[in-house]
Amino acid sequence: MLTDYHVHLHESKGLSLDWLKVYVEAAQERGIDELGLSEHAYFFDETAGILTHPWAERRRTLKFSDYVALFEAAEAAGLDVRFGIEMDYIPGKEEAIARFIERYPFDYVIGSVHWIGDWGIDLGEFKDEYARRNIEEVYAQYFEQVIRLAESRLFQFVGHLDLVKIFGYRPNDEDFLDRWYERVARSLAQNGTLIEISTAGLRKPVGEIYPSRRLLEKCRAYGVGIVLSSDAHHPDHIGYRYEEAVALAREVGYTEVHVLKNRRVTPVPLG
């Protein structure tokens, strides 16, 4: 079984059925068994008050009813696509996130950490901030939020688990990293939160799958389950370099992935 649950339409050509069909065809051509859409929640008016940074506010231009209508049209057209959303995890906004999630029949919800305070850590326009900060403090703040994300138990899986490495900045102290990897993996396991093996990092400056092998090994040791994702923003990204993701999963000992429906997770053999 191969999955691609981290897929975006809106930023390329909008939420149209015809554009979705192109994604579905790409998934079929590349052997993807389950495809799920997971638009960024900050695009929708209904999430106002969760992520309030001006960068996001300028992009909040959609009604969630349009997203729901797309899935209804897809079902009517016979397209089997899972209904997901990618939520920015913002500490202190758990109740608002929960209220939004419970309003809709999602198959799954991705929780992602993109922000440390007012800093968008994966945005090119803000990447110089890494050079101005203590990188160990940055990693500690990032992974502490990942732990809180898991503890909230609001999400089926974490998006791009070590996104903080996106521009290639890393602490020099390997023991420091190992301690955080241990804490993160233990929390994910204790709270039943999956992770994705995402090939998106191979398209980013870091040039590496999310998460790193060492972090993935920690997750495997604690029994944290996986899905496979591309974080696609274009049909060309669907299943991108999946042979490397599958190989990495197998090398660290994974033999199963999970399929997601009605916010339930089910293990199946890895394709």
Q: How many domains does the chain have?
A: 1
Give percent above pLDDT 70 in the chain. 100
Provide the pLDDT for residue 183. 98
CATH number at residue 59: 3.20.20.140
Q: What range defines the domain where residue 62 resides?
A: 3-269
> pLDDT digit string (tens) for 61-90?
999 999 999 999 999 999 999 999 999 999
Contact 151, 223 (CB under 8 A): no
> pLDDT digit string (tens) for 169-211?
999 999 999 999 999 999 999 999 999 999 999 999 999 999 9
C-alpha distances in Å from residue 36, one per residue of 61, 146, 227, 258, 260 = 22, 22, 11, 13, 9
Contact 35, 4 (CB under 8 A): yes
Cβ atoms < 10 Å from Cβ of 215: 22
Reading the block at residue 187, the tokens are 């929390």
Provide the pLDDT for residue 258. 98
